[in-house]
Structure formats: C-alpha cells, structure tokens
C-alpha cells in the first residue's frame, strides 16, 4: 500500500519529501529517526477506529493526541473502539503503528483534526514501517478532495493530550 500513498501524491503533483529509514512502530522511535535523518515536521497519527455497527473511521491528528471516546460517540452516534491490528492490515494493508492518513477503501470515513493545518510541516507514515514523508499539511486537503471517502474536519480539537 505504501506505493499507493506516493503514487497518489505524485498523480496530484503534490510536493513531499520521502524518507527511508529503520523500522518505526512507535513515537519514541519516530522521534529518534526524525532527529537522525533531520526530518522536519510534527509527527501525525492515523488511528483506525470502528463503530459498534462495524463502520470504520480514520482519525488523523498529531502524535501527542489520543481519541476522546465520549466525543467520538457523540459525533458518530454510537460507541467507538480502536480497530484491531489485523483489521488495519486486512482493510488497508498497513501494519499497526505505520498507518498512512489516506489510501483506504471508500467505506472508511476520515476525521481530520484541523489543528494539523496550523503547522508548517507534518510527517506521515507511507504505510510501512521503513518509509515516511514530510510535507505541508495543506496537501491533505488536496488529497481529500480527490478521494471517494467521507471526510469530516473537526474544528474543535476534541482529542485529549496523551499522558
């Protein structure tokens, strides 16, 4: 799937900086890799969630945020849980810890934290643990204009800081 991530960015003529590095599956390792390779930007988080009825949503925010289950239940109208790693792999071909913020089946809705658009650059996983990309977060808006997925922008940051 990671090739699909770059292919979409290339097809839309969007400027990004790809990086190849040692495997990254957690934010502690990501911080070390960012420093080692001088990767500029704020680490993003793409969290696959599943509603009680079985609908999938991807929360796209920064790495220091976590899902507010009460808000998500209010927003989506039903209880939400984090999808199992096997579901992420089956649904999109991504290993847990390195999900990309796009390139999912059209049935997956995107919930985008608008705080991302206040940043100069974000770092995303390209879908596998050894590849990342850095770019202006406004690129996400362009990407989301060209996908069939439902996209909702969350103006109020209703995700909670990681403790």
52-76 pLDDT, tens per residue? 999 999 999 999 988 888 989 999 9
- pLDDT higher than threshold 70 for residue 158: no
CATH number of this structure's domain 2-155, picked from the four choices 1.10.287.130, 3.90.960.10, 3.20.20.140, 1.20.272.10: 3.90.960.10
DSSP string spanning 40-109?
A: -SEEEEEEEEEETTS-EEEEEEETTEE--HHHHHHHHSS-EEEPPHHHHHHHHSPPTT---SS---TTSE
Return d(Cα 47, Cα 44) in angstroms, integer. Answer: 10
Residues 7, 131, 90, 147, CA torsion sign: negative
Q: HSE on the CB side for 19, CA within 13 Å?
A: 22
Task: Give this prediction's pTM.
Answer: 0.92
């Amino acid at each position: 799937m990671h090739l699909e991530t770059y292919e979409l960015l290339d097809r839309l003529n969007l400027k990004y900086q790809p990086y190849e590095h040692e495997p990254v599956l957690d934010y502690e390792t990501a911080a070390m890799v960012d420093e080692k390779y001088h990767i500029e930007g704020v680490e993003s988080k793409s969290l696959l969630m599943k509603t009680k009825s079985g609908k999938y949503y991807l929360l796209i925010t920064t790495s220091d945020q976590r899902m507010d289950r009460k808000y998500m239940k209010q927003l989506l109208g039903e209880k939400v849980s984090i999808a199992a790693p096997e579901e992420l792999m089956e649904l999109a071909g991504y290993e847990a810890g390195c999900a990309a913020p796009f390139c999912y089946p059209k049935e997956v809705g995107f919930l985008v934290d608008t705080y991302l658009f206040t940043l100069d650059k974000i770092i995303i996983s390209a879908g596998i643990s050894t590849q990342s990309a850095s770019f202006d977060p406004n690129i996400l808006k362009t990407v989301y204009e060209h996908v069939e997925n439902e996209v909702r922008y969350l103006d109020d940051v209703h995700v909670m800081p990681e403790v």
